[in-house]
Amino acid sequence: MRTPVIAGNWKMNGSSEMARDLCGQLTDKLIQAGETARNIDIVVCPPAILLHPVSDAIAGSPIQSGSQDIDQNTSGAYTGQTAASMVVDAGAKYTLVGHSERRTIFGETDEMVAAKTTTALEHNLTPIICIGETQQEREADQTEDVVKRQVLAIVENCGISALHHAILAYEPVWAIGTGLTASPEQAQQVHQFIRQQLAANDSAIAEGCRILYGGSMKPENASDLLAQDDIDGGLIGGASLNSTDFFAICAAAIQQAA
């Protein structure tokens, strides 16, 4: 059985005080949940400048930290960028790569996402590789073409074995921050398709690779989404900024893992 993952992406939100308070509240709720909380993997991804206070706040808890991005270069004259070694030094165990906002706003290509995946793995970070289609692409019936291209870019540039140590996150761009959500059946259909693309290269890796849903998962829909055969957790945006909402999603995953 694949261990569910609930990862929170704070995006460009937060402060040191907020990080301590939110992580403290979440830790208290997880302690009350008992040992079952350790049946899932829980990750919070704050802005890079908050990784140190977050790592301090979650010490000894079931929560781990991750960065929202890394540069594909290990060091050098790249003003404003953050190296993988820096986020590791700040306590991170995971990193997002290829988030839709990085692709659409900052112009990251499939090749750049693959390069960042390689860099993450070289630094023993678990990359959470984001893939997904825009509303225009969905309306043009291009969903499968887009996610296949994005998955194959990782396979071709990093090797299928990279996905033994990575996590995929399907995030339909049209369902991020819009209040829209793919139905559980729609999400499952795409997750299943993604797993089939991996299976064409390695069936064992396909079976073991965790694929998260990242399109407006909330306490109200988490259980139905997580009940789908090929949905192994969630990449949570706005709800991760509220400890009650984020814990409710974690609790749905804990129940699913029972």
Digit-coded pLDDT (tens) for 8-55: 999 999 999 999 999 999 999 999 988 898 999 999 999 999 999 999
In the set 123, 133, 171, 191, the catalytic residue is 171
Q: Would the pLDDT of 129 be above 80?
A: yes
Return the H-helix or E-strand segment holding 206. Answer: helix 203-208
In the set 99, 101, 123, 133, the catalytic residue is 99
Digit-coded pLDDT (tens) for 48-76: 999 999 999 999 999 999 999 999 999 99
The whole-chain average pLDDT of the chain stands at 95
Residue 2: Cβ within 10 Å count: 13
Provide the residue ranges of all domains of the chain, joining segments of one domain with +.
5-257
One-letter identity of residue 66: G
Is 171 part of the annotated catalytic residue set? yes
Residue bearing the bigger pLDDT, 35 or 86 = 86
CATH architecture of the domain 5-257 equals Alpha-Beta Barrel (3.20)
Distance CA 92, CA 51 (A): 7
What is the dihedral angle through the alpha carbons of 167, 222, 242, 125, rounded to the nearest 10 degrees? -10
Return the H-helix or E-strand segment holding 15. Answer: none
One-letter identity of residue 199: A
pLDDT, position 164: 96
Distance CA 19, CA 50 (A): 7
The arithmetic mean of pLDDT across residues 129-137, rounded, is: 94
pLDDT, position 173: 86
SS3 letters across 150-196: HHHHHHHHHCHHHHHCCEEEECCHHHCCCCCCCCHHHHHHHHHHHHH
Q: Note whether 250 and 257 are within 8 A (CB).
A: no
Return the H-helix or E-strand segment holding 25. Answer: helix 16-33
Global confidence as pTM: 0.97
pLDDT, position 48: 97
* Residue 146 pLDDT grade (very low, low, confident, very high; cuts 50, 70, 90): very high
Q: Note whether 224 and 183 are within 8 A (CB).
A: no
Digit-coded pLDDT (tens) for 227-254: 999 999 999 999 999 999 999 999 999 9
Q: Would the pLDDT of 118 be above 80?
A: yes
Is 101 part of the annotated catalytic residue set? no
Return the H-helix or E-strand segment holding 28. Answer: helix 16-33
pLDDT, position 178: 73
pLDDT, position 28: 95
Digit-coded pLDDT (tens) for 149-185: 999 999 999 999 999 999 999 999 888 777 677 899 9
pLDDT, position 184: 94
